[in-house]
């Protein structure tokens, strides 16, 4: 009986903790703006038919060559609680030389330690785990910046649920209450 009560209590606490996790969902095309090579693009397979991305440059690289410019999309979000947020991006990659974006919070300069999002699944919309970001409660700027051409981002999620406990698997419903205009 004692073990049953302990198990029920664990499930209750786990459920309450999961229910209290912060989750911010943003459509890529709802950025405040884009610069240079980063554009809002049409894609019928993207949520709402639009995404942000960098078109494939010709000739497309066969090795890592670095971005041609610092094109980016900027978002302002209102973070409801301080914490460590897992970044997830719903991405579409052209190939192994077109499969990444820099992800920055509250900074605008890329350095050798700037985190980025990448994986090796190509030509299909899918969720990719990015960096974790430590954010205080309040307004923050999220910047998705060009790293490789041929990369597109449909949506991104910031959640306090660690990637070991949850992974998105479908298009998510945007949470416009967290967008700052």
Place of tokens 């912060």: 22
Q: 14 versus 165: which is more confidently predicted?
A: 165
Instruction: Give phi and psi for 89, each to the nearest 5.
Output: -125, 135
| Per-residue model confidence as pLDDT tens digits over 87-144 | 999 999 999 999 999 999 999 899 999 999 999 999 999 999 999 999 999 999 999 9
Q: Which stretches within the chain are classed as H helix?
A: 2-20
> Does the pLDDT of residue 147 top 80, yes or no?
yes
Q: What angle do CA 134, 136, 139 make, to 5 degrees?
A: 115
> Does the pLDDT of residue 150 top 70, yes or no?
yes
| Per-residue model confidence as pLDDT tens digits over 51-92 | 999 999 888 877 767 788 899 999 999 999 999 999 999 999
Q: Strand, helix or coil at 49?
A: helix
What's the CATH class of domain 22-178?
A: mainly beta
* pTM of the full structure: 0.87
| Per-residue model confidence as pLDDT tens digits over 2-57 | 554 444 544 444 444 445 799 999 999 999 999 999 999 999 999 999 999 999 98
Q: What is the pLDDT of residue 9?
A: 43
Q: What is the pLDDT of residue 5?
A: 47
Q: What is the pLDDT of residue 1?
A: 56
CA 100, 105, 107, 111 dihedral sign is negative
Q: What is the pLDDT of residue 128?
A: 98
């Amino acid at each position: 009986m004692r073990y049953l009560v302990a198990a029920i209590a664990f499930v209750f606490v786990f459920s309450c903790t999961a229910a209290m996790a912060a989750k911010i969902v943003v459509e890529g095309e709802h950025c405040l703006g884009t610069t240079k090579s980063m554009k809002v693009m049409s894609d019928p397979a993207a949520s709402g038919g639009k995404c942000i991305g960098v078109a494939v440059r010709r000739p497309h690289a066969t090795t890592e060559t670095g971005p041609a410019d610092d094109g980016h999309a900027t978002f302002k979000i209102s973070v409801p609680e301080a914490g460590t947020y897992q970044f997830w991006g719903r991405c579409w990659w052209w190939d192994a030389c077109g499969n990444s974006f820099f992800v920055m919070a509250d900074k605008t300069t890329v350095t050798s330690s700037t985190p980025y999002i990448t994986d090796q699944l190509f030509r299909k919309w899918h969720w990719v785990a990015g960096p974790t970001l430590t954010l205080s409660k309040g307004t923050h700027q999220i910047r998705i910046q060009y790293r490789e051409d041929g990369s597109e981002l449909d949506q991104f999620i910031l959640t306090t649920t660690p990637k070991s406990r949850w992974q998105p698997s479908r298009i998510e419903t945007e949470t416009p209450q967290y967008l700052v205009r």
